[in-house]
Amino acid sequence: MKIQLIELPNRLLDKMGLVKKDDLNVGQVDPKGIAEAERMVENLKKECPAAISGYLEELTKAWEDMRDLPDNDERAELSERIFTLAHEIKDLAVLSDAHLTAYFSESLRDYIGETELNLEAQRVIIQAHVDAMTVVNKQQLKDAEGEMAEELKGMVKIAIDKYK
Amino acid sequence: MFPGARDPNAPEAYDLSNFTVLVVEDSTYMSTLMASMLKAFSVGDIMECHNAKEAIEVLTVTQARSKSRFITNVDIVLMDWLMPGGSGEELLNWIRCHSKDEIKFMPVVVISGFTTEKIVAAARDLGANETLVKPISAKGLASRICNVIEHPRPFVNIKTYFGPDRRRQEQVINFEDRRKTTAEEIQVVKKK
């Protein structure tokens, strides 16, 4: 036998006491609930800039603590913390259309998560990201394009290319 | 029709008050947002975990005690893909490779911040029922939940894959079908 096709009873419809008769949907998520959930997203978007600033402050502090440490467990822990914070910032930036913050936080997260970096490379690359993100946050830059955005991206790219 | 009036042809709203949804998301903001959205959808019980390891512990207890009056079974899992301390990939793999039916057939919606098709394809190839790309929207989440409820696909078990049938619709082809599998090689199993 090459292929086993397993047909399952529809437990979820059963649970609601609904029966499917044809291809049409027998129900839907309450449209009022969807509208309410959409309002929640909009409200969270308003909170995002303050939340991003808070996380960026934490990230900068973690980086200051980590910067001059030798390659030890404490450095690894702080590196993981920076990874998590960058990831968190990225999610909030995407949600609130802060494209430039999303760009830098994703780049920082990926460099920490996927690249084997020596101490010197880490210093330069993380510092470049932190500097860029601080400027973006202070100036409340959203768009990932434009003169200033390109300049900041260029600055980070130089740091990355140096250690590629 | 008056503004705000209910369309008489629209399907009834689901009563999700008996549903339990497990949200696996490392970001506190996103996790809280998803839980609130599910509450707005009238989901009765929402559990939250922050990584794969925590989720595995929760599912091991909830699904193993499926007949308990006190521990609710999880009906749907919503999971982020990239999480420190155990990724979505790890969790999905654990679910689909599990020996117990209550776990391995669970509906899973992968929510990912990655916009690349590569990640969506990876989630699909590991057996995700649905994928949703961030930024998350209420309509997007509702439509994935609706799909899981209304259009569950049969599971395919072959050497290289276990999960929902990746073909969402029957396609009519206008050329010679070169697939080697014959009807005799397909075993249909009906689960009760």
Q: What is the pLDDT along chain A (164 residues), one digit of tens a residue?
A: 688 999 999 999 999 998 887 777 889 999 999 999 999 999 999 999 999 999 999 999 999 999 888 888 998 899 989 998 998 999 999 999 999 999 999 999 988 876 666 778 888 899 999 999 999 999 989 888 889 999 999 999 998 888 76
| Nearest-by-CA chain B residue for A51 | B29
- pLDDT tens per residue across span B34-64: 999 999 999 999 999 999 999 999 999 888 7
- By Cβ distance, the residue of B27, B105, B187 closest to A91 is B27
Report CB contact under 8 Å: B187, A5.
yes
Report CB contact under 8 Å: B12, A28.
yes
Which pLDDT band holds residue B6 (cuts at 50, 70, 90)? low
Chain B: give the shortest CA distance to residue A113, in Å.
10
> What is the value of ipTM here, to two decimals?
0.85
Instruction: Report in angstroms the alpha-carbon separations of B145 from A8, A67, B148, B152, B160.
Output: 17, 45, 5, 11, 27
Residue type for position B93: N
Neighbours of B189 (CB within 10 A): 12
Q: Using alpha carbons only, what angle is made at residue A21 by residues A15 and A25, rounded to the nearest 5 degrees?
A: 70
Report CB contact under 8 Å: A4, B134.
no
pLDDT of amino acid A43: 94
Q: CB distance from B10 to chain A under 8 Å?
A: yes
- pLDDT tens per residue across span B142-186: 999 999 999 999 999 999 999 999 886 666 667 776 666 777 788
Report CB contact under 8 Å: A44, B135.
no
CA dihedral sign, ordered A141, A147, A153, A158: negative
The Cα–Cα gap between B59 and B155 comes to 20
B11's tokens? 């399907």
Neighbours of A148 (CB within 10 A): 14
Chain B: give the shortest CA distance to residue A79, in Å.
12
- By Cβ distance, the residue of A11, A26, A44 closest to B11 is A26
Task: Indicate the SS3 state at residue B24.
Answer: strand
Average pLDDT of the residues of chain B: 87
Q: How many CB pairs under 8 A join A and B?
A: 171
Query: Residue B21: beta bridge partners?
Result: B46, B76
- By Cβ distance, the residue of B76, B150, B189 closest to A6 is B189
Task: Indicate the SS3 state at residue B104.
Answer: helix
pLDDT of amino acid A41: 95
Chain A: give the shortest CA distance to residue B13, in Å.
5
Report CB contact under 8 Å: A3, B12.
no
The Cα–Cα gap between A41 and B155 comes to 34
Give B 47-86 residues with CB within 8 A of chain A: 75-76, 82, 84
